[in-house]
Amino acid sequence: MTTAATIAAEPATDAEALAHPFLRSLTALIRAQDRFGAWEKKPDEELLAPFIVDKEARKLIPIVGDPDPDLLARLEWFYGAVALQVEKQTGVMSAPMMKMSHEGFGRMVVTAGRLLVINKHLRDVHRFGFLSLVKLAVEGQKMVDDAAAWIAKYPQVAAE
């Protein structure tokens, strides 16, 4: 078991980001959903490519829109990776839960025991994405560290 003080170094490049523990967990979760081996030979960069939405691509996404099933799967994988890293970092089992309307508004929570370690209101999820793999790794790790801090603050509640 590691502690919140054992935090991965912030990656400087997309190549370094691929080795970051958060992105390793995210790609592992994505590969676990590959029931027929279609993604088996794909490199991690290709699996993570849908999470990257640069400024030009974001401009092309309408302000109002409904999320498609693939995007909702990516959202669940992202928060699933957060929960997995929280568990690895703290030793406390964590689980994500999402409630989403067809219009892309909803809530994502991550629990650890009886403790709510992440409470995120989601809106405009059809625009979900990050500028780069570095941003994806950094934002994911920020959520992990914040959740681990809550567990450290309330360990008895997290253990129940």
The whole-angstrom separation of Cα 91 and Cα 150 is: 13
Q: What is the pLDDT of residue 5?
A: 41
Contact 20, 75 (CB under 8 A): no
Candidates 73, 69, 127; CA nearest to 102 is 69
- Per-block mean pLDDT, blocks of 10 residues, the chain (160 long): 53 88 95 89 93 86 81 94 96 95 89 95 88 95 97 94
Q: What is the pTM of this model?
A: 0.88
And the tokens for 128? 């979900």
Candidates 112, 119, 116, 118; CA nearest to 158 is 112
